[in-house]
Structures are given as C-alpha cells and as structure tokens.
Amino acid sequence: MRISVIGCGYLGAVHAACMAKLGHDVVGVDVDAAKVALLASAQAPFFEPGLPELLAEVTETGRLEFGTDVAAVAGARVHFVCVGTPQKRGENAADLRYVDAAVEALLPHLAPGDVVVGKSTVPVGTAERVAARVAEVQPGAVVVWNPEFLREGFAVQDTLHPDRIVYGLPEGPDGAEARAVLDEVYATPLADGTPQVITDYATAQLVKVAANSFLATKISFINAMAELCEATGADVTQLADAIGHDARIGRRFLNAGLGFGGGCLPKDIRAFMARAGELGADQALSFLREVDSINMRRRVRMVDLAREVCDGSIVGRKVAVLGAAFKPNSDDVRDSPALSVAAQMGLQGAHVVVTDPEAVQNAQRQWPDLRYAASAEEAAAGADVVLLATEWDEYRQLDPVAFGEVVAGKRVVDGRNVLDPGKWRAAGWVYRALGRP
Ligand code: UDX
C-alpha cells in the first residue's frame, strides 16, 4: 500500500521505516530540510538503536522516500500524522499547532477513500475536530485515531512488534472501511497475534494518556517510597523487589531514582490535567499534580545529596555528571532529569562537567553554559563528586578501583540505583543513593 508519514521525528521517522519494512511504499514528509536530507540518504537524524540498519535496508528496496514537499503525499491511501505535541510555553496544555498545520497541509491532497491516521498524542477531542475539518474539505476521506506507544531506545522493536494496536473509528460504514484499510497496513503484526482494540475516538485518545499517566504514577509511587526509605534507613531497591514479586504489582517501572523525563511522560500528564480541567473533570486527575511534584522533588534531592557528601557546600566544587539523556539508549534531552540536576548545580556555583555517550551535542544546544566531556574518565578528572544521572551500561560497569584514580575525591551519588554500594565502598568511595541507606 502507498503510505505517507507527516512529521519525521522520533516517532515518524521510525514509523516510516517500519512501514516500508512491512512491505509498503512510503513517503515521509517533514518541514526540516536538514532532517529530510539525512533520512533521504538513509541516515538517522537522531540516535535510535537499530534505526540506521533498518533505514539502510529499506532504502535499498526503493520503498522509502523522504521530502519536504507535502504534495508528495498525493496518491497515498493512508496518511499518518506523526508530528509533535509539545507543552505550550508557560502552560500545562499541549501545543497543537503542528497537528493543525499537518492536517491543513494534507487537505488539498486528499482523495475520496483516503484514511488520515492520527498517531500524535493529543488532548481528547482533537480527533473529532480533525475529522470535522477533513469532512469539510474532503468528505470522502476518513479519520482514524491510532495512538503510538513506542519507547525511545526500543522504537523499531515496539513499532514492528507492538503490545497492542488501537483504532479509534467513526461509527458506520466509513469506520468499517477505514478499519479494513488499516488492517491491511498492519497485516504482519496482526497475523503475529498482536491484540487489537477497536473503539471510538475519545477512548483511543484517552488510552495513550492513560497509559503514560499510569507509568508516571508507578515511577512516582516508588520514588515516594524512596523518600520514606530515606527517612527510615530502609532500602527502596529491596522494597521494589519485594513488592514487585506480587504479579498484581509487577517489578517493571519500579526503579526509584531521579525520576522520569523525556518528550512524553512529563508533558503528557500535564496536558491531561489541563484537558481534564477544560472538561470540568479536574478532580479526577488532581493526583497527577502530586505525581509531577514527587518527580520534580527527586531532582532537588539529588543536588542536596551531592551537597551533603561535599560537606555542606558545592560552591567551587568540581562535579562530574554521568549522563545527559533522559534515559539510556537515547540522545533525547527533552526534560532530562540529568541535565536539570547538572544545570541546577551549575547555577548554585559548582563547576559542572557533563558527559554522555550520545547526547552531548543535544545537551550543548540546550545548556551551552555547562562544560562537556567526551568520556566518564575525562568528566571525572579531578572531580570532587561524581553523579550517576543516566544509567547507560558503560556507567553501570565502571570499575570503582580504576575510576577512583582519576577523581580528586571519591564521592559518588547514584541517581539511578544501579551501582553496587558494597563494591564502591570497598574501593574507598563515599556512596550515596536516592532511597538507599
Ligand atoms: C514513554 C512510554 O513508555 C511510551 O509507551 C510512550 O509511547 C512514550 O513515553 P519513553 O519516553 O521513550 O516512553 O520512555 P520510558 O522508557 O517510558 O521512560 C520514561 C522515563 O521514566 C525515563 O526518564 C526513565 O528514566 C524513567 N523511569 C522509567 C524511571 O525513572 N523508573 C523506571 O522504573 C522506569
């Protein structure tokens, strides 16, 4: 099937490549000429494991093209809208300007029978609005809402082998026809037995924000327990293991530490609260305000711990921050807890050096005033304290004995609870962590 993908960021670029991998003819469109040029030459514009190999493979087949001219979407039967919905400046609500612009750009090129598929995470009510606009201009086209649940770092795997496929459809024959078209698009994962949920627009839009709210709540729950562990001398990692053995709870997403960041969880829970307020249902989500506060408090606590191990002051102290990305296996620094801690410490008078295997360039653009190093050893040379802020494998595996030789003071704050306290202490380090004695 001929498919178009509007917006080639973390979501769209991966989606386009994966659709080509499934055998479709795909054109990806983005307004960013530099990004399009890279993708057109089969290069990934961001770090995502497996994407470069996939781009090389599918570009070779001739089934994947990229361009900046939206007219290229003409002739495609299915149009995926994959643009970003960032947080509005100074507000909790989502900024829908890119979704609206993508839909407006698509409209002149739609033909009867086309299916416009919304993948972007949007406030409930957006699909209905988009459908009304499409009906005005091309009544023969149908809008479907098909939320995307991919995780950065596992985006290719999550797109090719999703946990579930959700369609929000209009009622009647239009909905049934659109469903048949999308079933053809997803024929391979459906044949693999991927569960499918067929529902209305409102439910489909809510599924995505509900899932992300649940995940954020799970993380903040364990981080609230970490605060209690800190007050009582208990160990949150053992607590998480113990409660995680209960299958009803489960151990995943119970890693206490610096908390969640990235381009999805933080802004999605805020946009959800804002939308609930507009709908007169704000009480239902007031707990998400607490989820957000617990999460932000972890960043402050990390700075306080660093101050504690530096005998009460970080002014003039040399601090090495290991990690800039919001999580390992990503170069994404949007709302990164690691960078937020680094920046706070810099503002409070510490000499901060940040390192990350993949995210230094993006971090530099966002926080040009911080100093950056190419490796953990370089960042930690002469440091008074080392902060582990993003749990990349190479930081988990640091040898405390060898690493102890490069620093000025053997003090480490483990912001992700991934180092072995026994080993680090045995090598002479002062080891502190969030939620651990
Ligand atoms: C998330 C959702 O998982 C995904 O389904 C959705 O489509 C987009 O948002 P992503 O932002 O890629 O994906 O990251 P995720 O793996 O969910 O991690 C989010 C944040 O939570 C990271 O900062 C991570 O470090 C943190 N986290 C995760 C914890 O602090 N503890 C955990 O136990 C798990």
Phi, psi of 430 (to 5 degrees): -80, 115
Q: Residue 103 sits in which domain range?
A: 2-198
User: Which residues lie closer than 8 Å to 130 by C-beta, 6 or more apart?
Assistant: 99, 103, 116, 118, 143
Domain's final residue, options 148, 182, 198: 198
At residue 30 the predicted structure's pLDDT band, cuts being 50, 70 and 90, is very high
Same domain assignment for residues 42 and 191: yes
At which residue do the structure tokens 């930690």 appear?
380
Same domain assignment for residues 246 and 99: no
- Residue in 120, 151, 272 to alter for ligand 1 test, most ligand atoms within 8 A of Cβ: 151
Give me the mean pLDDT over the 246-268 stretch.
98
Residue nearest to atom 1 of ligand 1 (CA): 151
Same domain assignment for residues 36 and 162: yes
CATH number for the domain harbouring residue 242? 3.40.50.720
Q: Is 82 in the pocket of ligand 1 (CB under 6 A)?
A: no
Q: 2 CA distance to ligand 1 centroid (A)?
A: 32
First to last CA, the chain: 57
Residue nearest to atom 23 of ligand 1 (CA): 260
Give me the mean pLDDT over the 103-129 stretch.
98
For the annotated catalytic residues, the residue numbers are 264
Give me the mean pLDDT over the 219-225 stretch.
98
Phi, psi of 40 (to 5 degrees): -65, -25
User: Which residues lie closer than 8 Å to 298 by C-beta, 6 or more apart?
Assistant: 223, 226, 257, 258, 259, 337, 434
Same domain assignment for residues 154 and 268: no
Same domain assignment for residues 405 and 282: yes
| Percentage, residues of the chain above pLDDT 90 | 100
From the alpha carbon of 158, which atom of ligand 1 is closest? 5
Give me the mean pLDDT over the 128-148 stretch.
98
Q: Is 152 in the pocket of ligand 1 (CB under 6 A)?
A: yes
pLDDT at site 175:
97
Same domain assignment for residues 224 and 188: no
- Which residues are bridge partners to 371 per DSSP? 353
194 HSE (CA, 13 A, CB side): 19
Task: Determine the Cα–Cα distance for residues 128 and 251; give it in Å rounded to an integer.
Answer: 37
Same domain assignment for residues 391 and 279: yes
Closest CA to 67 of 109, 96, 100, 95: 109
Same domain assignment for residues 167 and 224: no
Task: Determine the Cα–Cα distance for residues 84 and 99; give it in Å rounded to an integer.
Answer: 7
Count structural domains, the chain. 2
Same domain assignment for residues 207 and 144: no
Same domain assignment for residues 184 and 211: no
- Residue in 265, 330, 414 to alter for ligand 1 test, most ligand atoms within 8 A of Cβ: 265
How deeply is 277 buried, as exposed, middle or buried, from its count of CB atoms within 10 A (0-12, 13-18, 19+)? Answer: middle
How many CB atoms neighbour CB 364 within 10 A? 16
pTM for this model (two decimals): 0.97
Question: Is the separation of the CB atoms in 390 and 338 below 8 Å?
Answer: yes
Domain's final residue, options 198, 215, 231: 198
- Helix residue ranges, H only, 145-193: 155-160, 173-185, 187-191
Domain's final residue, options 175, 198, 221: 198
pLDDT in tens, 276-326: 999 999 999 999 999 999 999 999 999 999 999 999 999 999 999 999 999
Phi, psi of 198 (to 5 degrees): -105, 125
Task: Determine the Cα–Cα distance for residues 360 and 46; give it in Å rounded to an integer.
Answer: 12
pLDDT in tens, 421-436: 999 999 999 999 999 9
pLDDT at site 314:
98
At residue 327 the predicted structure's pLDDT band, cuts being 50, 70 and 90, is very high
At which residue do the structure tokens 């119970």 appear?
254
At residue 348 the predicted structure's pLDDT band, cuts being 50, 70 and 90, is very high
Same domain assignment for residues 191 and 204: no
- Which residues are bridge partners to 91 per DSSP? none
Same domain assignment for residues 406 and 271: yes
Number of H helices, E strands in the chain: 18, 14
pLDDT at site 107:
98
